[in-house]
Amino acid sequence: MAGFPNYTYPAYGGYNPVTPFAPAPQVYQPMQQPVPQPVQSAQTVGSTNTQPNFFCRPVASKEEALGVPVDFMGAPMFFPDLAHSVVYMKRFNTNSGSADVFEFKLDTPREKQEQVPTQVAAFAPLDEFIDMKDTVQNLKDEVDRLKKPTGKAVKKNDASNDE
Could you read off the pLDDT of 80-134 as tens digits, one per residue? 998 888 999 999 998 888 999 999 998 776 666 566 566 766 788 889 999 999 9
- Which structural domain range is residue 101 located in? 53-107
Q: State phi, psi for 40 to the nearest 5 degrees.
A: -95, 155
Q: How far apart are CA 61 and CA 83, in angstroms?
A: 8
- Identify whether 122 is part of a domain: no
Does 129 reside within a domain?
no
- In total, how many domains does the chain have? 1
Is 135 among the domain residues? no
In a domain, 147, yes or no: no
Q: Is residue 139 part of a domain?
A: no
pTM: 0.38
